[in-house]
Amino acid sequence: DVKVTQSSRYLVKRTGEKVFLECVQDMDHENMFWYRQDPGLGLRLIYFSYDVKMKEKGDIPEGYSVSREKKERFSLILESASTNQTSMYLCASSLPDRGSNYGYTFGSGTRLTVV
């Protein structure tokens, strides 16, 4: 069964800490994405990557960075965690959109609480 795996289901971090969220996919997908999901705001795109070492900002990149050193792994980094980054973080992967896209496969999510 194909998978997107996020390393942690729940995390609690302190304000100012550097936080790493890891995501690994085994589907050989080129595209990988990081979203956060908040009540009433839905899913908002933070960053995405369409190839190794390639990245583009999404709609809310402030306070975040990413790393994609290998095709299967996409990491989200919170440089200095703040309480407003408390959220559910979802990683997703997909094939490139060549007119026949089959959507995202999501990981199980990481619920991050910053205290």
- 12 binds another protein per the rule CB under 8 A: no
Near another protein by CB under 8 A, which window of 16-24, 68-76, 79-87, 107-115? 107-115
Q: For residue 106, give every residue at least 6 positions away whose Cβ sits within 8 Å of its Cβ, in sequence order, or none.
A: 4, 90, 91, 92
Q: In 3D, which of 75, 93, 87, 106 has the Cα closest to residue 10?
A: 87
Radius of gyration of the chain (CA): 13
Q: In 3D, which of 1, 6, 35 has the Cα closest to residue 104?
A: 35
Shortest reach from residue 37's CB to another protein, in Å: 9
Q: What span, in angstroms and rounded, lies between the C-alpha atoms of 67 and 53?
A: 7
Near another protein by CB under 8 A, which window of 20-28, 44-52, 66-74, 77-85? 44-52
Q: What span, in angstroms and rounded, lies between the C-alpha atoms of 59 and 35?
A: 10
Near another protein by CB under 8 A, which window of 11-19, 62-70, 77-85, 106-114? 106-114
| Among the listed residues 26, 82, 96, 113, the single contact to another protein using CB under 8 A | 96
Shortest reach from residue 22's CB to another protein, in Å: 16
Q: Which residues bind another protein (CB under 8 A)?
A: 31, 35, 40-43, 45, 48, 50, 56, 58, 90, 96-97, 99, 101-109
